[in-house]
Amino acid sequence: MENSIRSLQQEINDATLNSQADIESFRLRYTVRKGLIAALFSQLKSVSPTDRPNIGIMLNQLKESAEARIAEATDSISHHEESSQPSIDLTLPGRISFTGSEHPVQKVLGEMKGIFSAMGFAMATGPELELDSYNFDMLNFPPDHPARDMQDTFFVKRNGNEDDVLLRTHTSPVQVRVMLDQPPPIRVICPGKVYRNEAISSRSYCVFHQLEGLYIDKGVTFADLKATIYSFAHQMFGSEVKLRFRPSFFPFTEPSAEVDVTCYLCGGKGCKVCKKSGWLEIMGCGMVHPNVIQNCGIDPEVWSGYAFGMGVDRTVLLHYKIDDIRLLFENDLRMLRQFTA
């Protein structure tokens, strides 16, 4: 039996293993349960007891030798396959990885929130799908007000009464909800997305972002409102910016005003963006109408307040000197990559 073991050992040593097929054929011939080495192990019981220990050692060495040949050949083939792969071409230009960042609207909105937060304003939000009563009635809009027309408002459900459902045209309904839920004093800002059925142009869009503010307390005056707006404008647009207040009309404020700042492109000289006026409107504001305060269950004889509202998107145009509001909604990477972190 020793001769059979030595003969098989020599055969194993001489075997050529240059491929996976050779290795598999070798394994099936020698190391499986019905292979040649297993056949020799089955004959061990016929060996005399005195020779059996030595024969057993030789068989174990034979099995280990066969398994070592398989492992060595497998490693050699794997290494050869890896080395045959094409190497990295170091002359090629590197791949550019783009870092994501906030959208310019969100960046500016974050700055605006920070400014008003430092003034002591809390933040409130509300639903974009709103009831007619919150969007119009409680804000002192008469039944025949033009803003109720289908040309201005996206109505979702019209029943001809205060149960009409619509996409909110401003974030003022959030102010109403705050006054209904919270007793004065109240100092909040209400940022959010609003919808109006308007013609799309370089200066207006059918959906845009708005930030409104509300301050209700005892003894609040228009001078407090002007101080707040001046402070915001100088922090947002720079200390050199000029402001002007123009008398205006809003159903929910009295007196009311619109606020303009000097044009960011022409510096007040006049251009196509400001329509040659040298001024750009940034917000509307005024003292909260007593009817609105009373509609929300607050006594207008004791409490007074001011409110203001501005388009965030238009502030983005001013802040970054962009001349077309549509660029903010087109998701053009060439434009958005200019605002990467």
**Whether residue 328 sits in one domain with residue 187:** yes
Residue 174 placed within a domain: yes
Asked if the bond preceding 53 is cis, omega within 30° of 0, the reply is: no
**What pLDDT is recorded for position 87?**
67
Q: Assess whether pLDDT exceeds 90 at residue 148.
A: no
- 29, two tokens: 């011939």
User: 130 is in which domain, residue-wise?
Assistant: 104-339
70-92 pLDDT per residue, tens: 888 888 887 776 666 666 777 88
Residue 249 placed within a domain: yes
Q: Record the pTM.
A: 0.67
Q: What three-state secondary structure class fits 190?
A: strand
**Whether residue 18 sits in one domain with residue 159:** no
- 133, two tokens: 């009563």
219-258 pLDDT per residue, tens: 999 999 999 999 999 998 888 888 999 999 999 999 999 9
* Total domains in the fold of the chain: 2
Residue 157 placed within a domain: yes
**Look-up of token digits 């029943």:** 159
Residue 145 placed within a domain: yes
Share above pLDDT 90 across residues of the chain, in percent, rounded to a whole number: 38
Using alpha carbons, select from 76, 60, 62 the residue that is nearest to residue 7.
Answer: 62
**Whether residue 294 sits in one domain with residue 171:** yes
> Residue 256's CB: how many other CB atoms inside 10 A?
18
- 16, two tokens: 């050529």
**What pLDDT is recorded for position 273?**
66
Give the C-alpha distances (Å, rounded to integers) separating 79 from 27, 194, 209, 317. 20, 63, 60, 60
> Residue 202's CB: how many other CB atoms inside 10 A?
14
**What pLDDT is recorded for position 60?**
85
Averaged pLDDT, 214-219: 96
Output 26 or 183, whichever has higher pLDDT.
183
313-329 pLDDT per residue, tens: 888 887 788 878 888 88
Give the pLDDT band of residue 150 (cuts 50, 70, 90): low
Using alpha carbons, select from 334, 333, 314 the residue that is nearest to residue 324.
Answer: 314
Output 159 or 50, whichever has higher pLDDT.
50
Residue 90 placed within a domain: no
Q: Assess whether pLDDT exceeds 90 at residue 5.
A: no
**Amino acid letter for position 234:** H
Q: What three-state secondary structure class fits 140?
A: coil
E strand or H helix that includes residue 1: none
DSSP 94-128: PPP-PPP---HHHHHHHHHHHHHHHTT-EE----S
Averaged pLDDT, 257-279: 79
